[in-house]
Chains A and B, each alone.
Chain A
Amino acid sequence: MLALLRHEIRLQARQKTEWAALLLFFVLVVILMPFALGPEPEMLRRLAPGLVWVAALLMGLLSLDRLFVQDARDGTLDEMLISPVPLAAIIFAKLAAHSVAIFVVLVVMLLPAALLLNMDVEVLPKLLATFVLGIPSLVLLGGIAGALTVALHRNAALLTLLLVPFYIPILIFAVSACTGDAAQPLLFLGSILALLLPTAPLIIAASLRHTQE
């Protein structure tokens, strides 16, 4: 398991240009917001957590086609399916590494984004907490949609359509944790994660097994 995880993290770390592009995308969304909404500091301060989360969610969506589509294309998926290692464990390692990568990009950009959007300092720890609980859920759900698109031989447009309804609750709880009392929404985020953590890898494994038919 550790060896798998090390491999997946190494693979993500080697794809720096791809992640840099996503980082740039995130920054761009955050920079454009004040221009679109007007530069009133008070309003930006109020909207900041929501804007950061929307940018993070879009960035996550963009990164998802890397999850299984590439493996299916280069033949790694066959190797995963034949492997004596449980498929769910391989998938878990992949999703964990992907979550870590997104998390790193977000943490790197958090301070600049906070400055640009005039965010309150006390919101930062809350925002970090929502990232910790929310990002893995996004990736786990994204993994299910990604595996389904591979199974159906469809493109990423379908993936996005499938995902957005499931992302909305996560977005709502994450943003309400940042704007109001944090405890309850964070508990909800945690329970979504607790629900997905054991089930999603199994669902993904089952749909990947069907890709071959």
Chain B
Amino acid sequence: MLSVENLSCRRNGRFIFRNLGFTLAAGCFLQITGDNGSGKSTLLRTLAGLLPPAFGTISETKSCYIGHLDAVKPALTTREMLDYFAVLQGVVPDVTRASAAFGLTPLLDRPVRTLSAGQKRRLSLTRLAINNAPLWLLDEPTTALDAAGRDLLFAAIVHHCATGGMVIAATHETWPLVDIQHLKMGAV
């Protein structure tokens, strides 16, 4: 379970959001919506531990954060990139299983620089399959994904929630999931 109390975040002397509180039970999906610049990404980065909160508390939960940037190196192959993700997350890489999760198996030995934007996005999302974190933090995860990629992502999210995981996603997409909580970010 994740609980957030009284969370405020300040950047460059300006409050991005103030006194935000919510709890998320195991197996739940929280969709964050809001205008551009309303603090969706800032909230996700704060939850991931990349930004220190100005006030408030976040319950300690291991998370996997997928941001706007794909965090891939053009010079490496897909396989090497997956290995590196695993090393950084301190787990033993299971490349076969991880690559299958987002349909990357045929691309394993291709250099990342030859992949399309959507394929890079899939590679970036594969971190979710490598990491065993209970909380997924996704910032516009469907960017550049094709229909098949989107379906794989939905399937992964459904499976993750069904096994007791939690997902928080900043997106304006309508998700074919039954049980969705909403959080609308607005002006402070």
Contacts and interface: CB of A to CB of B under 8 A. Distances in A.
A203 to B, nearest CB: 19
B73 A11 contact: yes
Interface string A64-93: 000000000111101111111100001000
Interface string A83-119: 1110000100000000000000000000000000000
Interface string B49-76: 1111000000000010101111111011
Nearest to B45: A212
B83 interface: yes
B69 A78 contact: yes
A147 to B, nearest CB: 16
A15 B11 contact: no
Given A7-B80, A7-B83, A90-B88, A81 B50 contact: yes
Contacts of A11: 73, 75-76
Contact of A75 (B49, B51, B52, B69): B69
B15 interface: no
B62 to A, nearest CB: 8
Contacts of B73: 11, 74, 76
B22 interface: no
A24 B103 CA distance: 41
Contacts, number: 62
A3 interface: yes
A15 B75 contact: yes
Interface in A3-50: 3-4, 7, 10-11, 14-15
Contacts of A78: 48, 50, 65, 67, 69, 71
Contacts of A212: 45, 50-52
A213 interface: yes
B75 to A, nearest CB: 4
A96 to B, nearest CB: 15
B49 to A, nearest CB: 6
A4 B76 contact: no
B70 A83 contact: no
Contacts of A82: 48-50, 63, 65
A85 B50 CA distance: 15
Nearest to A15: B75
A213 B72 contact: no
* Most chain A beta-carbon neighbours within 10 Å: one of B70, B73, B90: B73
A11 B76 CA distance: 7
Contacts of A81: 49-50
Contacts of B171: none
Contacts of B80: 7, 10
B119 to A, nearest CB: 16
B51 A213 contact: yes
12 contacts: A11-B73, A14-B75, A74-B71, A74-B73, A75-B67, A75-B71, A83-B88, A83-B89, A84-B89, A84-B90, A212-B52, A213-B51
The 6 nearest A-B residue pairs measured at CB:
A75-B69, A14-B75, A75-B71, A83-B88, A84-B90, A3-B87
